[in-house]
Structure 1
Amino acid sequence: MLKRTRSLLYLCISAVLTPSFTAYANSNDLPDIGTTASGTLTIAQERQYGDAYMRMLRSSKPIIDDPVVNEYIDSLGHRLVANASNVKTPFTFFMIRDRNINAFAFFGGYVAMHSGLFLHAKSESELASVLAHEISHITQRHLARSMEEQARRSPATLAALAGSLLLAIAAPEAGIAAITATTAGNAQSQINYTRANEREADRFGIETLEKAGFEARAMPQFFTRLADEYRYASTPPPMLLTHPLPEDRITDSRARAQQYPVRHLAPSMPYQLTRARVIARYAGIDSTAALDWFDRTEKKSSPSIKDAFDYGRALVYLDSQKLDQAKSLLDALLKKDPDNNFYLDAMSDLYIAQQHPEKAQTMLEAALKVNPRNPVLTINYANSLIEAKDNQKAVRVLQRYTHDNPNDLNGWHLLSQANAHLGNNAEDLAARAEILALKADWNKAIQYYTQASKIADLGSLEQARYDARIDQLMAQRDRFMALQ
């Protein structure tokens, strides 16, 4: 029974978590496949599954915990969410370090994108078109509706389907194999249902793209270029393997996008700066190759985005310890745009590399007066305090930061580090326990808090806090295990 249940889940999940971005020109052609999925899971249950899977991803995937990158993709994603229909859950956007072109969405408003998208999306509108499609999968509750459809076609109960979800969702590539293991009729029915989901996601995605002020034609432009680039490739990217882009699908998306007026948008500097950061640090190429990419790409680009290429070069020089060259570029960039978080973050790293953390501290204190409690500035400020050996102040800053941003591993890592420097072993253990809990390592997290409780003074507020957190983690662990 379990084996059959897993196969059913693989079928519905492989379709929803891997995008095909099909678009159809006539919305009247769309079938009525419902909107609420109320017979499957509640929104609260979906959020519970999403949180559990996110913890699994943190422990198994190379998630990019870069505060500057995260600030950009979060801003872009929520700009789209603000213009989407049927939003019923908070959204979380994150990036996985992977050169393959892909993005996927899952329960609880989580949207993942691969860093490889920045290697191929030439504008912010193109990247936004991918996110808009994934946001629509969530707002239309396609995964829950696919589960409901499978439950109608099989003896498996909804509870059995949901109970195997985490196991199946952790390996969505197995969905392709699962299709071949089922009957032809059932497989074809599932494929047809999936195509209906894709049509709906594309329709809502293009509409969201337009409402958010992006160029709707970016979607067919992006897919046309991908199809042309990989037409004769022996190993196409996963997205094209699971959902090919034949000409009629691209034509349909172009027809739908042409219903909207053309937008002549200036290049987005935040997008270009993020792209430069990904090339410099997350593309898996050495410094020489990265500098060559900046030189070649700049020659084909608008002069208006020259600063983005200089920023990328500055990061390459910084990471390869060519500090004078990095400083020359960053000084010029900050003079033009002194409040830019990309530049402030890099200059902070430069000052620390030059063993002048007090300069970073002064610079960031001034920036925080303009933009108080900003995550990028705050995490850099805490790091500069630790480097300046002002660990007591760093702890105070990080306690507030982790309260405001409890899912950011950076904050907990720095809090652990600052407490270790101060000899606060119990607080060090508590911070490390939070990191483990975010990665679903419940037992070790509970073990660390138990050790912290033993170290704390008997009957103290600290011991009471640790014991209360142990109870919370045990309850979270039990809920997590029940999902499996």
Structure 2
Amino acid sequence: MVAKRIISLLFACSMALEPAAHVYAQNYNLPNLGAAGGATLSQLQERQLGEEIMNEVRSDPTYLADPETMEYLNRIGYRLVSAGPGSPYSFEFFPIRDSSINAFALPGGFIAVHTGLVTAASNESELASVLAHEIGHVQQRHIARMLENQKGNWAMTLGSILVAILAARAGSGDGAAASVIGAQAAMAQNYLSFSRDAEREADRVGFNSLVRAGFDPKGMEQFFERLDFNNRAYEGARAAPAYLRTHPMTVDRMSEAQVRSRSVRAQKHKDSLDFYLIRARLRVLQSNRYQGWSDAMDYFKEEAKTAKGYEAAAVHYGMAVAAQRMKNPTLALQEIEKARQMTGGNSAIINKLYSDLVFESSPNQRARGLQLAKQAYEKSPLSAMLLENYASLLLRDKKYSQAVELMRKQHAISKSTVTYQSILGRAYEAMGKRSLSHQAIGEMYALQGQKVAAIQQLTLAQKANDADFYTMSEIDARLRELRADVEFDKKHQ
């Protein structure tokens, strides 16, 4: 798919940051790869660039808007970020539905993780080592320095990338991919050696974060060894592992990973239950077709013969996820009950699916399913995953005013999120509050970068005119702001 190929190339040729902060290198005893001679983009501009790219990524079919996976990846990611040298950006980790083993960073702290990376990881430390490496790229400002190294070519490349993304969304097919590939090819020779140095530096920074965050130091070494094994299997072929195509692997990187892991005191990291659950979940969600779900079910049935402990619970959870997708609610409920019994009912991820399946099992069980969702959320009120689940079940049970009250009082997610505005929009629409509904849907579109659609919704909100004076004034002001933004964009195209 064209969009997938675009995304896989973005890390190599679309970032633009300011010069690297020398204090990072000093604190971590790192070599100075060079600082930019002049400003390229400010930190604010770089974040805005990342947001613009993310607007396109979120519209791509490969973007996996899965609350469970997002919450898990961000929990692991921020554990690593807090153990690192610091960054001027807030991070966002998100999954991409792609079976290849890969991860990549975008401008402004956005980090994508392929589902294939999670399903291929043999333990949590391996997965964390890749996230730590990508975080290292952002914290060390590598792309700012890479673009400075291009001495002026970066603007052309960024333009080519963004045009290509827009063309792909418009259905231009392989012409869009060719545009991106052409932009990459024009720069490839110039940044290859720099990129290798950047990879090694990201390894060092990432390793320090990995150890400080309490993960197994051998995680990175083990991951590299698996990549090397896979690479040998593909030697001479085009289909080398995706991670190696976007992250140059050298003998030095592998040997340095071995030396580093053996130079620190060994610390065993016990893999979390959530790691096994998310790995099983993504084995199912990696496909959006029945055959893929059926294949996952067959895999879990085979694994169930020998799996123990957390892995056994994850196998039954995975079977429940697959059965739900395959429209077999009876089997799904049987399997999730097994997983729940194995974990003592203490897993938020398992409890979320359990409440869903109970709610869906029959009209008589809706109240029980809703109560289970409420209990799970109240136990972990800062969980966006559990909040969204509880609110969604309230909407499905036609308890619209309760859903609105819940969203207004909660602290799990910001008002400036698509999820928040989407839930409010649906609730207000069902309640017949047209201005509030169109306002929420308009804000949802605005957050997705769809300013014209946002203006259309807010105009409908204005015409409905069935909210209080304060809300209508807020809508009027927001309309003026968005229209001014659209005019500005037109003038500067």
TM-score, normalising length from structure 1? 0.84
Q: Identify which range, 315-324 or 121-130, moves more after superposition.
A: 315-324
Shift in Å, 1:476: 5.1
SS in 2 for 1:363: helix
SS, match of residue 90 in structure 1: coil
- Matching residue of 2:205: 204
Is contact 1:166–1:483 with CA below 8 Å preserved after alignment? no
Distance between the aligned counterparts of 1:306 and 1:462, measured in 2? Answer: 52
Q: Is the 8 A contact 2:56 2:165 kept in 1?
A: no
Aligned equivalent of 1:145 = 145
C-alpha deviation, 1:174, in angstroms: 5.8
Q: Which has the higher contact order (CA 8 A, sep 6+)?
A: 1
- Residues 357-372 of structure 1: pairs in structure 2 closer than 5 A: 357-372=366-381
The aligned residue for residue 313 of structure 1 is: 319
Q: What displacement does 1:92 show?
A: 1.0
Q: What does 1:170-249 correspond to in 2, within 5 Å?
A: 177-178=182-183, 180-181=185-186, 188-233=189-234, 234=237, 235-249=239-253
Cα distance in 1 between the residues matched to 2:28 and 2:444: 49
Quick one: distance in 2 between partners of 1:11 and 1:317? 35
Deviations 1:80-107 (A, max 9, x none): 0010113221111111112122211122
Q: Percent identity?
A: 32
Once the two structures are superposed, the pairs formed by residues 55-454 of structure 1 within 5 Å of their partners are: 55-151=55-151, 154=152, 166-167=162-163, 177-178=182-183, 180-181=185-186, 188-233=189-234, 234=237, 235-284=239-288, 285-299=291-305, 301-335=307-341, 336-354=343-361, 355=363, 356-400=365-409, 404-406=413-415, 408-454=417-463
Q: Which runs of 5+ in 1 are unaligned?
A: 1-9, 18-26
SS of 1:100 mapped into structure 2: coil
Query: Which stretch shows the higher mean deviation, 124-133 or 309-318?
Result: 309-318
Quote the RMSD (CA, aligned, Å). 3.3
Number of aligned pairs?
Answer: 458
TM-aligned CA deviation for residue 16 of structure 1: 7.8
CA distance in 1, matches of 2:157, 2:132: 28
CA contact (8 A) 1:65 1:409 kept: no
Which moves more between the two structures, 37-46 or 49-58? 37-46
Amino acid at match of 1:319: R
- Deviation (angstroms), 1:247: 4.4
What is the identity, as a one-letter code, of the residue corresponding to 2:232?
Answer: R
1:98-135 deviations in Å (ceiling 9; x for gaps): 21222111222111111111221111111111100110
Q: Residues 372, 384 of structure 1: CA spacing in aligned structure 2 closer, same or farther, 3 A cutoff?
A: same
Task: Deviation per CA, 1:157-215: give whole Å up to 9, x if none.
Answer: x8777766744788898665445446xxxx54421222221111111011111111111
Instruction: Specify the SS of the correspondent of 2:215.
Output: coil
Compared with structure 1, are the counterparts of its residues 305 and 483 closer, same or farther at alpha carbon in structure 2 (3 Å cutoff)?
Answer: farther
Q: Give the whole-Å Cα distance in 2 for the aligned partners of 1:269 and 1:142.
A: 34
How many angstroms apart in 2 are the aligned matches of 1:69 and 1:11? 23
TM-score normalized with structure 2 length: 0.82
Partner Cα distance (1:275, 1:297) in 2: 13
Deviation at 1:454, TM superposition (A): 1.1
CA distance in 2, matches of 1:317, 1:11: 35
Residues 1:160 and 1:303: Cα distance change in structure 2 (over 3 Å) = closer
Q: Matched residue of 2:381: which SS?
A: coil
Q: Is the 8 A contact 1:16 1:105 kept in 2?
A: no
CA deviation profile, 1:118-159 (whole Å, cap 9, x unmatched): 2211111111111001101111111222222222xx4x6x87
Change in CA separation of 1:357 and 1:465 when aligned onto 2, cut-off 3 Å: farther
CA contact under 8 A between 2:195 and 2:248: conserved in structure 1? Answer: no
Distance in 1 separating the partners of 2:487 and 2:57: 19
**Distance in 2 (alpha carbons) for counterparts of 1:166 and 1:46:** 14
Counterpart secondary structure, 2:267: coil
Gaps of 5+ in 2: 1-7, 16-26, 167-175
Call closer, same or farther: CA 1:212–1:120 in 2, change over 3 Å.
same
Give the whole-Å Cα distance in 2 for the aligned partners of 1:383 and 1:458: 24
Would you say the 8 A contact 2:391–2:403 is kept in 1?
yes
Distance 2:96 2:178 in 1: 16
Q: CA deviation at 1:44?
A: 1.9
Aligned to 2:113, the other structure's residue is in SS state: strand
Q: How far 1:360 sits from its partner (Å)?
A: 2.0
Q: Secondary structure at the match of 2:269?
A: coil
| Pair 1:461–1:130, CA change in 2 (3 A) | same
Structure 1 residues 240 and 368, CA, compared in 2 at 3 Å: closer, same or farther? closer
- Give how far 1:441 is off: 1.5
SS of equivalent to 1:389: coil
Q: Distance in 1 between matches of 2:157 and 2:296?
A: 46
8 A Cα contact 1:14 1:172, kept in partner: no
Amino acid at match of 1:337: G
Q: Distance in 1 between matches of 2:230 and 2:157?
A: 38
